[in-house]
């Protein structure tokens, strides 16, 4: 416990010492605290009329504070002198390194060497040795020298820096396109506004590094680690970051258009306002990530994990989210028109006022999802599971919901005009005030459904099961109820039943005829007794109802 605390205090001390302004503020705060202590003790002494405490203040505490301040100033002056001496030594070491490398360049033709040549091995040895003796700023000067000497080209580097430890290196604003830093440790480095397009950064360690406004476009960062790195406003367009670890990274307003992040770990990352258009994130881990207001249009998120991620107000139009996991994901107000969400898991997801116009949700799981006020016009939702989901006031006109599971779903005031609901399960669903004009509900199960004041004008309910359904105040004008299972009592509660193709309800009005037993003494079927309807054909829908879209106007 003591070591992390000491290292933290040392880090903060160095940060304060690095800036004259921070040092001045620290001194002022320290003096203010000491003054408050003295005044506080004096106040207590006066209130308690303690002469001993006043004597302690006058003769002991104030001199101790003055001596302590003097010792601190002396120590600070001594450390400053040591820092100056260290800087002189580092400057001398850097100049000596430059001299040796210049000699290798001129006399040993280092630029024409291969990695196995004696000159290249000597250059690598000199470089790794000097790195261990310099601070972050000094290592930055060495890297600049190597790049400007054409010894760190991405294609064929002369000086191989693999496994070199450059932790805390200062390279801000360096322009080094095509630099090769493969497998280099650059953790906690300052790389603000570096220009490294087309660079080879495979397996590089950039944990907690500051890459704000950096240009890494078209760079190769496969298997790189960027945990908790800062990449705000960075340019990563077209970069390859497959299987990289970017958990907890800050990518606010970053440009990752057309980048390849397949299999990347972006859990808990912040991508607010980022440009992810056309990005490849298939199989990526985005658990708990923040993508509010980001542009993810035309992106590939096939089988990505977005559990508990936040994409409020994001643009996901045309994105591929087939098989993706979006459990408890927030997608409120997002645009997902034309998106592919087939077989995706959106259990408990939030999609308030989301635009899913013409989206493909075939086979998706959306149980208990909140989809109020959403737009799902012309959406493909065959075999979707929406059990217990809230779709109040949503627009599902002309949507294909054939064989969908909508049991216990809330569809109050929803627009289902001309929607295809053949074979759908709507048991105990709430459809109060819903618009079902021209909807196709052939073979649908509406048992115990609440259709109070629903508009079913010209709806097709052939073979539908409306047992115990609430049709109070419902408009059944020109509804086709051929072979539907509905009681006369339920129909009597409807507001309008004009020109309705009524079902055969004779079995509700008279006792059914019993089929006599056969000569062998057994009944005609395994069910005993069997009943035969009078004059009506079979009311059972086909075994495999066809998924159908409603006729277009």
Question: What pLDDT, in 10s, does the model give residues 214-226?
Answer: 999 999 999 999 9
- Mean pLDDT, rounded, for 161-175: 93
Asked whether the predicted pLDDT for residue 107 surpasses 80, the reply is: yes
**pLDDT at residue 13, as a whole number:** 67
Closest CA to 481 of 498, 449, 468: 498
Asked whether the predicted pLDDT for residue 180 surpasses 90, the reply is: yes
Instruction: Give the least confident one: 115-124, 367-376, 406-415.
Output: 115-124
Closest CA to 213 of 183, 244, 172, 243: 172
**pLDDT at residue 7, as a whole number:** 61
Assign 11 a pLDDT band (cuts: 50, 70, 90).
low
Instruction: Give the least confident one: 164-173, 313-322, 340-349.
Output: 164-173
The single-letter DSSP state of residue 111 is G
Report whether 365 contacts 381 (CB < 8 A).
no
Assign 91 a pLDDT band (cuts: 50, 70, 90).
confident
Domain boundaries, the chain: 2-107
Asked whether the predicted pLDDT for residue 142 surpasses 50, the reply is: yes
**pLDDT at residue 55, as a whole number:** 64
In terms of phi and psi (left: phi > 0; alpha: psi -120 to 50; beta: otherwise), the region of 403 is left
Q: Please state whether the peptide bond connecting residue 170 to the residue before it is cis, i.e. omega within 30 degrees of 0.
A: no
The more confidently predicted of residues 256 and 502 is 256
Asked whether the predicted pLDDT for residue 503 surpasses 70, the reply is: no
CA 452 to chain centre: 40
Q: Above pLDDT 70, what percent of the chain?
A: 82
- Mean pLDDT, rounded, for 489-505: 76
Cα(188)–Cα(106) distance, integer angstroms = 35
**pLDDT at residue 430, as a whole number:** 98
On average, the pLDDT of the chain sits at 86
Asked whether the predicted pLDDT for residue 140 surpasses 60, the reply is: yes
Asked whether the predicted pLDDT for residue 522 surpasses 70, the reply is: no
Report whether 418 contacts 397 (CB < 8 A).
yes
Closest CA to 313 of 353, 364, 349: 353
Take residue 439 and report the two structure tokens written for it: 């909807």
Report whether 464 contacts 446 (CB < 8 A).
yes
Instruction: Give the least confident one: 132-146, 350-364, 494-508.
Output: 494-508
Asked whether the predicted pLDDT for residue 199 surpasses 90, the reply is: yes
pLDDT digits (tens, 9 = 90+) for 446-472: 999 999 999 999 999 999 999 999 999
**pLDDT at residue 69, as a whole number:** 72
Cβ neighbours for 154, distance < 8 A, ≥ 6 positions apart: 178, 179, 180, 198, 199, 200
pLDDT digits (tens, 9 = 90+) for 232-281: 999 999 999 999 999 999 999 999 999 999 999 999 999 999 999 999 99
**pLDDT at residue 482, as a whole number:** 93
**pLDDT at residue 31, as a whole number:** 74
Q: Which residue's structure tokens are 């408990």? A: 348
Which of 68-77, 144-153, 326-335 reaches the highest mean pLDDT?
A: 326-335
Cα(299)–Cα(296) distance, integer angstroms = 6
**pLDDT at residue 113, as a whole number:** 82
CA 127 to chain centre: 41
**pLDDT at residue 61, as a whole number:** 63
**pLDDT at residue 500, as a whole number:** 67
pLDDT digits (tens, 9 = 90+) for 352-410: 999 999 999 999 999 999 999 999 999 999 999 999 999 999 999 999 999 999 999 99
Report whether 192 contacts 170 (CB < 8 A).
no
- Mean pLDDT, rounded, for 343-354: 98
Report whether 244 contacts 265 (CB < 8 A).
yes
**pLDDT at residue 514, as a whole number:** 38
- Mean pLDDT, rounded, for 120-126: 91
**pLDDT at residue 537, as a whole number:** 44
């Amino acid at each position: 416990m003591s070591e992390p605390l000491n290292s933290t205090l040392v880090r903060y001390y160095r940060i304060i010492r690095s800036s004259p302004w921070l040092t001045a503020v620290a001194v002022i705060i320290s003096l203010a605290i000491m003054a408050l202590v003295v005044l506080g003790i004096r106040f207590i002494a006066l209130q308690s009329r303690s002469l001993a405490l006043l004597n302690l203040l006058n003769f002991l505490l104030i001199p101790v504070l003055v001596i302590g301040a003097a010792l601190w100033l002396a120590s600070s002056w001594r450390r400053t002198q040591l820092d100056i001496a260290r800087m002189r030594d580092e400057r001398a070491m850097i100049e000596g390194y430059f001299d040796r490398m210049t000699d290798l360049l001129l006399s040993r033709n280092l630029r024409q060497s291969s990695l196995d040549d004696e000159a290249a091995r000597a250059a690598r040895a000199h470089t790794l040795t000097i790195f261990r003796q310099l601070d972050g700023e000094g290592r930055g000067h060495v890297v600049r020298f190597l790049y400007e000497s054409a010894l760190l080209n991405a294609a064929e580097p002369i000086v191989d820096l693999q496994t070199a430890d450059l932790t805390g290196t200062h390279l801000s604003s360096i322009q080094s396109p095509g630099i090769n830093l493969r497998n280099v440790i650059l953790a906690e480095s300052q790389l603000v506004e570096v220009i490294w397009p087309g660079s080879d950064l495979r397996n590089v360690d950039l944990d907690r590094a500051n890459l704000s406004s950096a240009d890494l476009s078209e760079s190769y960062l496969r298997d790189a680690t960027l945990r908790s790195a800062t990449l705000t406003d960075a340019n990563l367009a077209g970069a390859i970051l497959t299987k990289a670890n970017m958990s907890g990274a800050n990518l606010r307003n970053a440009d990752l258009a057309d980048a390849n992040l397949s299999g990347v770990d972006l859990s808990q990352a912040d991508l607010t306002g980022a440009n992810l258009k056309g990005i490849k994130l298939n199989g990526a881990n985005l658990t708990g990530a923040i993508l509010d207001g980001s542009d993810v249009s035309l992106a590939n998120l096939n089988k990505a994990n977005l559990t508990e991620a936040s994409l409020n107000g994001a643009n996901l139009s045309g994105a591929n989210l087939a098989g993706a996991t979006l459990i408890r994901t927030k997608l409120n107000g997002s645009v997902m028109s034309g998106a592919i969400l087939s077989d995706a898991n959106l259990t408990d997801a939030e999609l308030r006022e989301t635009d899913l116009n013409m989206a493909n949700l075939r086979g998706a799981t959306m149980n208990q999802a909140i989809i109020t006020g959403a737009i799902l016009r012309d959406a493909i939702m065959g075999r979707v599971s929406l059990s217990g989901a809230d779709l109040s006031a949503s627009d599902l006109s002309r949507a294909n919901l054939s064989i969908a599971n909508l049991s216990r779903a809330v569809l109050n005031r929803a627009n289902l005009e001309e929607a295809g609901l053949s074979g759908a399960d709507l048991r105990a669903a709430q459809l109060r005030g819903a618009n079902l004009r021209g909807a196709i509900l052939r073979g649908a199960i509406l048992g115990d459904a609440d259709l109070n004041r629903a508009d079913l004008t010209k709806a097709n309910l052939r073979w539908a099961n409306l047992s115990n359904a609430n049709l109070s105040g419902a408009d059944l004008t020109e509804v086709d109820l051929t072979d539907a299972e509905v009681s006369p009592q339920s129909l009597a509660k409807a507001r309008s039943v004009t020109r309705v193709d009524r079902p055969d309800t004779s079995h509700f009005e008279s006792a059914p005829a019993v089929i006599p037993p056969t000569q062998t003494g057994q009944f005609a079927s395994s069910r005993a007794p069997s009943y035969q309807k009078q004059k009506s054909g079979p009311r059972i829908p086909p075994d495999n109802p066809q998924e159908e879209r409603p006729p277009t106007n």
